[in-house]
A and B are shown apart, each in its own frame.
Chain A
């Protein structure tokens, strides 16, 4: 029970002070791996791989870390710490929503949306480098992109079809053209810590 509250405090401390995805990672690593030794670096890497393996936000890795540290209560602490900061957005939307028609507020929102689109393109680069490792995956991306931009096909169908194609490809033997095992090699804690490659760091923070 004590461990639950300690985990909740540690997680909340880092999620409330980080903006997006894996930005809370260095602090969680410092507390849980270095200071307390409740999980290992390998566990932490594994939790990042898991969040890349499962759909949904990347920030869900704290749930996985919580489960590793303390089972279901730890996962609950992770979930609360992941979800709670989101409630703060209501204050912002409440304040700016009343002023949404003001030209300067509109202009501010416009610039933030544009800048965030630019960051998103940068974030796709390291993931692309890692995921596009053979003719099949390159073909999947090349076909999916125009379909998505033209909004012809629902995104869920594209994800399902891509997974099924790659699955079928590995059965008929296309898979041996891949260079290396996926995700597990790409997502290393070192990539997200201080001194990491800037591209990867950007992906970690914006994803």
Chain B
């Protein structure tokens, strides 16, 4: 944690396009467990380790990518690329994060019967999926932690509230997220925080 590029302290360090391509190609295409788990890995890489974006920029990119149509992970990568290097960064991040996994999907589709008939392949996959469960749960904590500490009352309302809306009222996730956005906008703001610079 004594890393000099630690995010949050000092201005973000903007990467080269090649560095963007390298990080997104490596980390956006190697994590099982779906988009959010992958975004948690990317958060560790581009915020904590490399300091390309700040904690506020991460929240901005992540929250808005959840409200963008299509695949959230790719929207997050595009947003992070745009935040660091504008449109070229956005396009490089989008291609780097979507092309390798697409090629892999084509290869697996072409050889589906052979691969899925192999017990060893299945065994390796089983292990990777078990790790994915752990990654998803830890991801929830990685995202929520700074806000649970900064705004514990919000966390106490929003987290159980969101779960109840999905399990009880069967709302779709995007509706739950939009309701959370509305709750955040109308949430009473402490007097000291309303002073604009």
Contacts and interface: CB of A to CB of B under 8 A. Distances in A.
Interface of A: 15-21, 23, 46-47, 49-61, 63-64, 67-68, 72, 75, 78-79, 82-90, 92-94, 96-97, 100-104, 106-124, 127-128, 130-133, 136-138, 140-141, 144-145, 148-149, 151, 155-156, 158-159, 161-167, 169-171, 175, 178, 181-184, 198-199, 202, 205-207
Interface-central residue, B41, B161, B184, by most chain A CB under 10 Å: B184
Interface-central residue, A46, A104, A111, A137, by most chain B CB under 10 Å: A111
B18 interface: no
19 contacts: A20-B72, A46-B109, A78-B102, A83-B95, A86-B75, A108-B63, A112-B67, A118-B159, A123-B136, A131-B126, A131-B132, A133-B126, A137-B126, A151-B44, A155-B31, A158-B135, A159-B128, A171-B120, A198-B170
Contacts of B159: 114-115, 117-118
Nearest to B107: A54
B32 A89 contact: no
B123 A169 contact: yes
A94 to B, nearest CB: 8
Contacts of A51: 105
Given A50-B109, A86-B68, A113 B144 contact: yes
A97 B60 contact: yes
A112 B130 CA distance: 27
Contacts, number: 419
A128 B125 CA distance: 14
A159 B35 contact: no
Given A51-B105, A67-B106, A109 B78 contact: no
A145 B131 CA distance: 8
A32 to B, nearest CB: 15
Interface size class, chain B: 35 or more
A85 B75 contact: yes
A29 B75 CA distance: 24
A47 B129 contact: no
B134 interface: yes
Contact of B59 (A110, A122, A128, A183): A110
A130 B136 CA distance: 14
B79 A90 contact: yes
B149 to A, nearest CB: 11
A84 B70 CA distance: 8
Contact of A57 (B71, B90, B106, B139): B71
Given A19-B69, A55-B29, A82 B74 contact: yes
Contact of B127 (A63, A92, A165): A165
A111 B180 contact: yes
B106 to A, nearest CB: 5
A114 B189 CA distance: 17
